Amino acid sequence: MRFRDGQWLPAEGVQIEFAEEVYRTTETPSGKGISLLCPTRKIRSRGDTLNLSTISIDIEPAFDGCLSVETTHWQGAARRTPDFDLFPDGRPDFSSHITKGETSTTVSSGTLSATISRKQHTFEISFHPTSGKKALTTLLNRSVGLAYTPATTTPMQLADMRNIKHYIFTQTTLSVGESIHGLGERFGAFNKVGQRVDLWNSDGGTSSDQAYKNISFWLSSRGYGVFVDTPQRVELEIGSERCCRVQTSLEGQRLKWYLLYGPTPREVLARYAVLTGRAGQVPAWSFGLWLSTSFTTSYDEKTVNSFLEGMKARDIPVEVFHFDCFWLKAFQWCDFVFDDEMFPDPKGQISRLKAEGVVKKVCVWTNPYLGQASPVFAEAAAKGYLLKRKNGDIFQWDLWQTGMGIVDFTNPAACDWYVGCLNKLFDIGVDCIKTDFGERIPSRDVQWFDSSVDPDRMHNYYAFIYNKLVYEALQNRYGKNEAVLFARSATAGSQRFPLTWGGDCESTPEAMAESIRGGLSLGLSGFSFWSVDIGGFEGYPPPWIYKRWVAWGLLCSHSRLHGSNSYRVPWTVDDDDKSEEGCSATLRKWTHLKARLMPYLFAQAQSAVKGGLPLSLRAMCVEFPEDPTAWTLDRQFMVGDSLLAAPVFEEDNTVEFYLPRGKWTNFFTGEVKSGPGWFSETHSFATLPLYVRPNTILVLGKDGETRTVYDYTTDVEVRSYFAEEGARAALVDGGGREVGAVGFKDGEIIGKDALKGDYKIVVVNS
């Protein structure tokens, strides 16, 4: 929301009132924070205290390295639900204190402090490390305020606010050279400076400024992050209304955000994970290849069998087979019942597929909508399980499904019913669920079962309760660490219910780049696991794009072949080219490589969960924050701590990429390149720039390994790349528990007693 016309004038029809000074400072009720009374004009006489608005700013220690800042105009405004589920693992102990000096007051929460100027007629709040005074960001003159639209001509008009919108906003300073990242799965420019960002979940595809996963958290290159603590619509002007400020605004009377100090991105993300939660652990089998039927394609039991038998014949292991929408009858989405004309015996079919060894797990597509042609619509409607309009009618529209209703997850009985439907799927052998949609949740003319719910806040929050319900149903059936979703919509905290994928992308190199930017941004928003529609969702990928997408898609934490109106089995893309450069051979090579990488990937997954880090795609700035170039890189990524991958976007097989400081080793050839610097290479479809970071010990499966799940300590290959004293690689079992480690000490690999079988030690570079 833009409130100004340039630097000096208010926008047409907008009235703005700024906090002009800190008039009074008191302790908050907790005794740990401070409350600032800030009038919207400078108080030079007693008469100035009349007939004006004031803004209260409460600054509270939250935990070590984190402060909350709540800005309020009218304190009597109702506090509506839902709220984000913060500190899901408990609030850690921390120390805080308030220091009052002659010219300032400072409130500290461990390593982070806020200093408020006590100079007369001044408004200035500086956020800085407790150990220093160099500001991370500040709230300066005319940076906190409220706005009305339309503008009023007399305060008497505020007696009736029904046709007047009230906004609250803050503007934190944007320093010289500072870049801003995150804010969910955003497909535009990686650095958000210069952008207007609207945090409102939308089904807009990957080639727009809309996002399926709007996360109200951003990460700054200056060593801090900000989490806006509301699921309602938040509008940000990031160096776009005022070039030197990040403006956060919402419609309402109060705005609360948390500032988290690093100083590194790793530390900021770790603190964000304390606040909103860490990803759940995902099972090892989920890292294997997922194969989908695609969306609008025609398929039945015979088609499914032919896909899986064809993949097996080509030595391409499929871990999970996914039945997309048309496992259900047309017009009856989503009633949880297989179309009996296409799948007369779904339980038997699933059992046979698993027994024949062509697939290990089965996933089905669902969503939280019920088409009125389905018998379950009448059942859910009669029992009050569907969202209603204010007049008592069930909310329906013909967008997506004819006469579609929306399951009201604020109704506990509706939740129980929905879980019961899922359990029937689990009974026939379904192992995981694709939780599609959840973005188009109406916020006007609706009445939720829980009358305390604010419809505006429910729009984004619906994704959280929807995915939480399904994830916990999977946990209850299969075990805490065996639950896997394939979710499209998300909000803050949804990282606890892995995993998510990047939504509807086109089959173009530009869409590949869009998707990578989305994955990088989501990773910087606290999500550890992410996937993408390999080959692109929309259109018919030409073979070269399919093969290039396969290469980096198998280096994502999770890998799924999926399309819209065309299949994604490789032989349908290139007329079954059987050469070593064909789609089948390319998919086989990259699937086998991911299987070999599993000892490394699964160990890295555990540390990613613990630290609130993305496994892959991991932005380069997470690992190399001291390198200014790393904050600009949006066409390459890290896979865990030690592997750098650069996808190829050009049909002529060329690629440019950047290596940070140090000696980097080509994974495939052993060639060494020294950074920092930019490099150009040409690659066949079997390779891309995949470089091993210096001072790395890399544990791989044996040569020729094709399984995703195996003993990650037996018959493995341990490679050393310019290892130095103290280098270490964790060894984990199939449940992710650390069972040992290999390291480098006194010029030798140590920890070999944890290895079993015919293992190999290879010093690639020393």
| Active site residues per annotation | 436, 439, 504
Q: At what angle do helices 543-553 and 583-611 cross, to 10 degrees?
A: 30
Q: What is the CA radius of gyration of the chain?
A: 27
Instruction: Count CA atoms closer than 13 A to 27's CA, side-chain side.
Output: 9
Closest CA to 326 of 296, 361, 353: 296
Contact status, residue 662 vs residue 693, Cβ threshold 8 Å = yes
For residue 721, the number of C-alpha atoms closer than 13 Å in the C-beta half-sphere is 24
Residues 397-420 as b or e (16 or more Cβ within 10 Å = b): eeeebeebbbbbbbbeebbebbbe
Residues 6 or more apart whose CB falls under 8 angstroms from that of 691 comprise 643, 644, 659, 664, 665, 666, 667, 673
How far apart are alpha carbons 617 and 607 in whole angstroms?
15
Question: Per DSSP, what are the bridge partners of residue 24?
Answer: 37
Helix axes 265-276, 583-611, angle to 10 degrees: 70
Q: What CA–CA distance (Å, rounded) separates 588 from 317?
A: 8
Asked whether the beta carbons of 116 and 125 are under 8 A apart, the reply is yes
Q: Select from 182, 278, 184, 209 the least CA-distant residue to 489.
A: 184
Neighbours of 229 (CB within 10 A): 20
The structure tokens 């791989």 sit at 700
Number of H-type helices and E-type strands within the chain: 10, 41
Dihedral of the alpha carbons of 335, 341, 343, 346, in degrees to the nearest 10: 60
Q: Supply the DSSP symbol for 146.
A: E
Question: E strands, 367-471, where?
Answer: 369-370, 405-406, 432-435
Structure tokens at 526: 């606290």
